[in-house]
Amino acid sequence: MTDFDDIRPYHDHEVRPVLDRLLADPELAEAVTRLKFPRASRLVGPLLRPLVRRAMRRQLAGVQSVYDFQLVIEKYMRTMLETTTSGLTTSGLDRLDPQQAYLFISNHRDIAMDPAFVNWTLYHAGFNTLRIAIGDNLLTKPYVSDLMRLNKSFIVNRSAKAAREKFKAAKKLSAYIHHSIVNDRANIWIAQREGRAKDGKDKTNPAVIGMLTLSKPKPAPLADYVHQLNIVPVSISYEWDPCDAAKAREVYHQRTSGGYQKEQHEDVKSIALGISGQKGRVHVAFGRPLQGDYSDDDQVVSEIDQQILEHYVLQPTNCFAWELLHGEVPRVTWGPHREPYDPAALRAQRHQFELRMQAIPSEQRRLALENYANPVASKLASA
């Protein structure tokens, strides 16, 4: 038993027993049936579930290692890319060395797809796949926890209540991340903040950097420790946010009622919607490894935020939303080729965006528009 057994991903020798347990879990078979056959499952779900379970057994029969499992995931990921995106583009990987281990800190727009797109990009560029941070608040069902840990996820303890318990959990997480980078030479992904950005503003929570540096030996300069972690900021942008209406609804209730109570397993539903929903164009931009002479956490936060904003690629939907809110054409560029925004050249896409916004309740619509428009505001403010 190691110090990290309760939070780490599964090892190869654990894969087969975990898979056998999952294949016997009726909840997983039901969830997969609903995901693959959303309409038919409501009518003939009991008839479909045995067929789904049999198909899963067949697909997973030869899986004996984490790598084998990720090859199965890769096939599903490829299908998802083909059916729910208009293309995935990337930039910045030429700055990185596949032989090095990095701590990738990205903006956070989608629970599952943010690390999935980073992982896909790295894997197909010859890098090792990621160990992915995931909050235990998302692991409301045992089968979700097992699936995540099979796919190299490690658990962030967000359920701790007492201050001492929170500090102990944060210190263990910090030590695990440092151990992964320095000792295991493993790539890590974490989000810049807890919870998805629901307003389109990408800001790093200083507590994330505070957690990372909890394992720093006291005499060691902060800059040296940050250099050891090999931190790389990552910017992810989506043309369409499958959860845009849900995010607007949550923010609306927070502002009008003083809070928002999530339904049971609502995060699991968000994960499914993020995977299956249309995303349009997607861009993943890798920044430069942090190599500055940092004297405090705030300087580290500042550089991460600056790089995420600098490398963020605007989508047409961001520009449409800005124009609808402000009544003027933003002087920005969009897409990986940095094309000047010209609404006349994008009339059909703008009409599609307007129809999507009209489907959102009128009292929540402005919040959805702001979610899309705020990346434009950030770009204009930094110009």
Spell out the per-residue pLDDT of the chain, length 383, in tens.
478 999 999 999 999 999 999 999 988 888 888 877 877 777 777 888 889 899 999 999 999 999 999 999 999 899 999 999 999 999 999 999 999 999 999 999 999 999 999 999 999 999 999 999 999 888 878 888 999 999 999 999 988 889 999 999 999 999 999 999 999 999 999 999 988 999 999 999 999 999 999 999 988 899 999 999 999 999 999 999 999 999 999 999 999 988 777 777 787 788 889 999 999 999 999 999 999 999 999 999 999 999 999 999 999 999 999 999 999 999 999 999 999 999 999 999 999 999 999 999 999 999 999 999 999 999 999 97
Q: Spell 113-151 as b/e; 16+ CB within 10 A means b.
A: bbbbbbbbbbeeeebbbbbbbbbeebbeeebbbbbbbbb
Q: Which of 70, 132, 128 lies closest to 101 in space, CA to CA?
A: 128
Q: Which DSSP category does 38 fall into?
A: T
Q: What's the rounded Cα separation, in Å, for the pair 294 and 223? A: 5
How do beta strands 231-238 and 187-191 pair?
unpaired
Show the CA angle centred on residue 365, arms to residues 360 and 366, nearest 5°. 170
Model pLDDT, residue 102: 98
| Amino acid (one-letter) located at 180 | S
Q: How far is CA 209 from the centre of its chain?
A: 18
Q: Where in the chain is the domain with CATH 3.40.1130?
A: 65-310
CATH of the structural domain 65-310, one choice from 3.40.1130, 1.10.3470, 3.10.450, 3.30.70: 3.40.1130
Backbone φ, ψ for residue 86 (5° rounding)? -100, 10
